[in-house]
Amino acid sequence: MEAPPPEVITSPVPMLGHVTSSYRGTVGSFALALLAGGLEREGQTLYAFDSGRSVPVVVTDPVHHDREGRRRDGDDQRHRPSAG
């Protein structure tokens, strides 16, 4: 069940979690958050409160870099010295 848009929300609003850090760049922005039932909410649009306004956010997969763990485990061929 997705959260209703801000114009439909009545007070008090149930708290589902909180943003632990965020980044705003020239290409876009993202945030990390602790969210109740976060894994089950992937793809849902929720609303976060920022600077006095409600902002729609989309819950995404928590792993967005090196999904297979190759770089973490040292198996990424791009970073190995060439033989020779």
Is the per-residue pLDDT at 16 higher than 70?
yes
What does the pLDDT read at residue 35? 93
Strands (E), 8-67: 17-24, 29-35, 45-50, 53-58
Distance (Å, whole) CA 58 – CA 66: 21
The rounded percent of the chain whose pLDDT value lies above 70 is 71
2-6 mean pLDDT? 61
Q: What digits encode the pLDDT tens for the residues 23-60? A: 888 888 888 999 999 889 999 999 888 887 888 899 99
Alpha helix positions (H), 1-84 = 70-73
Neighbours of 57 (CB within 10 A): 19
* 17 contact partners, CB below 8 Å, separation of at least 6: 33, 34, 35, 36, 38
- pTM summary value: 0.61
